[in-house]
Amino acid sequence: MTEKTYKTLVGLEIHAELATASKMFCGCTTTYGGDVNTHCCPICLGLPGTLPIVNKRAIEFAIQTGLAFNAKIARKSKMDRKNYFYPDLVKAFQISQYDMPLCENGHVDIETASGKKRIGIQRIHIEEDTGKSLHAEDGSSLLDYNRCGVPLIEIVTHPDISNAEEAGAFLERLKATLEYIEVSDCKMEQGSLRCDVNVNVVSEDGTVKSNITEVKNLNSFKAAMKAIEFETRRHIELLEKGENSLKETRRWDDAKNETFHMRSKEFVQDYRYFPEPDIVDFEIDADWIERLELELPELPEARKARFASEYGIPEYDAGVLTATRQMADYFESLVSRVGDGKLASNWIMTELMRRLKDEGLELDALRFTAEQFADLIAMVKDGTLNQNAAKKVFRRLFEEGGDPKAIVEAEGLVQLSDTGLIKETVESVLAANPQSIEDYKNGKDRAFGFLVGQVMKASKGKANPQVVNELLAEALKNL
């Protein structure tokens, strides 16, 4: 009996809070934080006699999201009541969308080590967020309703994702796009972006299939990827034993790196959807959609292609630089001041990103401005500094901040390009190293590198390396 092989089917449901100033159906602020239960009112608490008023800007953000993800925008849509009791929903129902979502049939193109792949987006709909439960060690629970009523979009994919790597690539692209079009701040640590994962496996011959399980409220891409890997293994192990997974909702345990049962899976009929009686259906005309599309900025994939062609940098580098709008804007700010895309890219890709990663920092935590970084790069470009001296200045900038020009002056790091002085140093080094001259003549290339190093050492690292190489080669040729 041959051993069965399986393929994984993954669908994602991503909730993104919209960056509106006020909530979905009332005027309460959406600002994160604040004292508990101070950012709420009778409307978002669902008190009797209150009526919701739709936030037009939330609808516009949702439409722009649909456009950015190549979705079809509905010309007519409505809101529905999704009924269920849970402590973080005071009124025991959520205003959401059921059978007439705002956006349908979109897609996102991703790229992994296996190549390019298109992930279909089934729907994007708008709804309101719930409150937050705070569970104490003594077993009691407290409720904070500040988040209740904050506008959300839910992005639902088709089960086109085959593994954790593809899920990670999709989530990174989705997050970058939402940040580019500025509809959400995507701060997962604040709950602005949350992900649910639906997983099951099917045998390659199609004879065996596990039931779909949902892993709820994953608050990091790493957790989502680990949950997919864990659930894939769990489903296969169950099938191999002649059992099957339950149709259930599970939670992820970061400490144990495994999922655990939360509750049985709800079905559509459990929610008893019906049209929201307090909100009229709304129509989206073509002119409105066109205006919102014109407001969209250059998206990540288009910006990546432009960076590669306009600045002559490798496609990989262009992809890294455009992974976030913040980094892409920072790069172009440097280029506008330095006038050299390749040089600016090299400094960001090597020095800046390495230090940011090592220190666990973001761009907004830098101790120096883009203008100061551009001044440093410009001094490399015009020959004021050699590469080693410039790296020394960069370390000072990163650790202490300051003016690169002042650091260069104080440290006496200006590059020496005077051919007369460098020639004298070369002659002095050659006179002191006859054996290296003999080695070089005998074809030992390392001898040349040694002599260059001696010249640089004698000049205290200030000599222009290009001039050193040229004058040393010329002197050896004439010996």
CA atoms lying within 13 Å on the CB side of residue 359: 15
Are 267 and 369 members of one domain?
no
351: which DSSP letter? I
Are 233 and 142 members of one domain?
yes
Are 220 and 140 members of one domain?
yes
Residue range 154-187, pLDDT digits in tens: 999 999 999 999 999 999 999 999 999 999 999 9
Q: Is 381 within a domain? A: yes
- Residues 465, 387 contacting (CB under 8 angstroms): yes
Instruction: Please give the Cα distance from 416 to 427 (Å, whole number).
Output: 16
pTM as predicted: 0.83
* Out of 12-16, 52-56, 438-442, least confident range: 438-442
Range of the domain at 358: 298-411
Give yes or no for residue 443 having a pLDDT over 80.
Answer: no
Give yes or no for residue 1 having a pLDDT over 50.
Answer: no
Which parts of 43-127 fold into alpha helices (H)?
A: 56-68
Q: Is 293 within a domain? A: no
Type and span of the H or E element at 122: strand 115-128
Are 365 and 386 members of one domain?
yes
Q: How many CB atoms lie within 10 A of CB 48?
A: 6
- Residues 475, 426 contacting (CB under 8 angstroms): yes
Nearest one of 121, 125, 124 to 106, comparing CA atoms:
121
Q: According to the model, what pLDDT value does residue 415 have?
A: 59
* Out of 4-8, 172-176, 268-272, least confident range: 268-272
Last residue of a domain, one of 378, 411, 444: 411
The residue that leads in pLDDT, 67 or 4, is 67
How many residues does this entry show for the chain? Answer: 479
3-class secondary structure, 251: strand
Are 357 and 390 members of one domain?
yes
Are 471 and 333 members of one domain?
no
Strand pairing partners for 118? Answer: 109
| Percent of the chain surpassing pLDDT 70 | 97
Are 270 and 383 members of one domain?
no
Q: Is 371 within a domain? A: yes
Once rounded to an integer, what is the mean pLDDT over residues 2-17?
91
Are 457 and 350 members of one domain?
no
* Out of 213-217, 266-270, 286-290, 367-371, least confident range: 266-270
Q: According to the model, what pLDDT value does residue 421 have?
A: 66
- Residues 304, 313 contacting (CB under 8 angstroms): no
| Percent of the chain surpassing pLDDT 90 | 67
Query: How many structural domains is the chain composed of?
Result: 3
Q: Is 368 within a domain? A: yes
Type and span of the H or E element at 11: strand 6-17
Last residue of a domain, one of 287, 313, 335: 287
29: which DSSP letter? B
Last residue of a domain, one of 411, 445, 467: 411
CATH number of residue 468's parent domain: 1.10.10.410
Are 174 and 228 members of one domain?
yes
Give yes or no for residue 309 having a pLDDT over 90.
Answer: yes
Once rounded to an integer, what is the mean pLDDT over residues 219-230?
94
Q: According to the model, what pLDDT value does residue 2 have?
A: 52
Supply the Cα-derived Rg of the chain in whole angstroms.
30
Instruction: Please give the Cα distance from 30 to 397 (Å, whole number).
Output: 37
Residue range 205-217, pLDDT digits in tens: 888 999 999 999 8
β-pairing, 72-73 vs 103-112, is antiparallel
Q: How many CB atoms lie within 10 A of CB 92?
A: 12
The residue that leads in pLDDT, 104 or 190, is 104
Are 404 and 427 members of one domain?
no
The residue that leads in pLDDT, 4 or 163, is 163
- Give a three-class secondary structure readout of 361-430: CCHHHCCCCHHHHHHHHHHHHCCCCCHHHHHHHHHHHHHHCCCHHHHHHHHCCCCECCHHHHHHHHHHHH
- Residues 44, 26 contacting (CB under 8 angstroms): yes
Please report which confidence band the pLDDT of residue 84 belongs to, taking 50, 70 and 90 as the band edges: confident
Q: Is 261 within a domain? A: yes
Structure tokens at 171: 């989530």
Are 155 and 212 members of one domain?
yes
Instruction: Please give the Cα distance from 180 to 185 (Å, whole number).
Output: 10
Query: What is the average pLDDT score of the chain?
Result: 90
Instruction: Please give the Cα distance from 126 to 101 (Å, whole number).
Output: 8
Q: According to the model, what pLDDT value does residue 156 have?
A: 98
Q: Is 1 within a domain? A: no
Residue range 334-346, pLDDT digits in tens: 999 999 999 999 9
Q: How many CB atoms lie within 10 A of CB 57?
A: 15
- Residue 37 region, left (φ>0) first, then alpha (ψ -120 to 50), else beta? left
Are 135 and 80 members of one domain?
yes
Select the highest-mean-pLDDT range: 44-53, 56-65, 268-277, 436-445: 56-65
